[in-house]
Amino acid sequence: MFKVKSHGFELEMEMVDVKKVHIHEEIVPELLEGLIKDMKKNGFARDPVLVDASTNVVLDGMHRVAALRQMGYVRIPICKVDYNSTRIKLGCWYRVMTGGDLSKIPEILKLFNLKTEETSVAAAKRELKKRAATFAVLTTENCLLVRAEKTDVRESYTWVKRIERALKDQKIKTSYADEEDAMEKISEKTVVMLVPCAEKREVIEMALSGHVFAHKTTRHVIPERPVNVRVPLSWLTAKRPLREVNGLLNENLTKRGYRSVPAGQMFDGRRYEEDLLIFR
């Protein structure tokens, strides 16, 4: 096991049986296909999957798990963290809708027999937090609170997924942004969907139950994230004992070392809101 302790936060990286990790979000076929092609081309798993140390519930890296399973590999590199730590934040992805005729959104909601009412943004957030509403739609003119019969997190995101599909049929595009960035995007040509934030307890319970949330239900932010670990796919087979493979991993990462990069930097085409530990 390779351990890193920085700024009082500990990360533990090792290889485990891929069957022992539990995902909590659904897999998107298009994303899975692209990742498999990338792994086959590069010959390695670039980043470790982030998991809760106590339960092996995957916090980030659902598609990496699915890709390795589909490719027939039996091991997976993981990074264990203490999910109970208050320094690990759990947020959500607001939906940002553009293109098409955005004025049709209220009509689409009516087609699904969803109850709507105008309210303030603050009130909508309170209702979502209490699980008393399903989601909310925010424009430059108003905030529309939406309620279905059931308002637990899984059901709410099931409705969000249905609405996203209906919007796609109307040529309305959906992208994802954190709460703060999404609110800054609101304009005459942009509508934002406010969604509920899951709780850590709900994430663990969902994964261990064998069920999953919809894609983009959770957004985990940790103090520091290890990247560019680059574990060769040949290490993920059953040809070597697990202990031997973990020895190789520890030796490799110790030899290579890493550099720390502050939050907000770009790496491999993505901007991270966490500090990075980039392995050389």
Among the candidates 159, 194, 229, a domain finishes at 194
Among the candidates 138, 167, 194, a domain finishes at 194
Between CA 148 and CA 165 the distance in angstroms is 17
CATH code of the domain in which 182 resides: 3.30.1760.10
CB atoms within 10 A of CB 97: 23
Residues 28 and 166 placed together within one structural domain of the fold = no
Residues 109 and 175 placed together within one structural domain of the fold = yes
Between CA 148 and CA 200 the distance in angstroms is 23
CB atoms within 10 A of CB 179: 16
* 149 burial type by CB count under 10 A (0-12 exposed, 13-18 middle, 19+ buried): exposed
Residue with tokens 């995957």: 58
Residues 166 and 214 placed together within one structural domain of the fold = no
Between CA 11 and CA 78 the distance in angstroms is 10
Residues 115 and 65 placed together within one structural domain of the fold = no
Instruction: Supply the angle between the helices 62-70 and 29-42 in degrees, to the nearest 10.
Output: 70
> Which pLDDT score, from 0 to 100, does residue 125 have?
97
Q: What is the pLDDT of residues 205-217, one digit of tens each?
A: 999 999 999 999 9
Residue with tokens 């995902």: 23
> Which pLDDT score, from 0 to 100, does residue 186 have?
93
Among the candidates 161, 194, 227, a domain finishes at 194
In the DSSP assignment, the letter for residue 22 is B
Residues 81 and 126 placed together within one structural domain of the fold = no
Residues 9 and 79 placed together within one structural domain of the fold = yes
Closest of 74, 99, 64, 69 to residue 15, by C-alpha: 74
Parts of the chain with a pLDDT under 50: none
Between CA 274 and CA 262 the distance in angstroms is 7
Residues 114 and 44 placed together within one structural domain of the fold = no
Number of domains making up the chain: 2
Residues shown for the chain: 280
CATH code of the domain in which 212 resides: 3.90.1530.10
Residues 104 and 84 placed together within one structural domain of the fold = no
Between CA 31 and CA 19 the distance in angstroms is 21
What residues make up the domain containing 41?
Answer: 2-88+203-279
Structure tokens at 104: 């049709």
Q: What is the pLDDT of residues 98-119, one digit of tens each?
A: 999 999 999 999 999 999 999 9
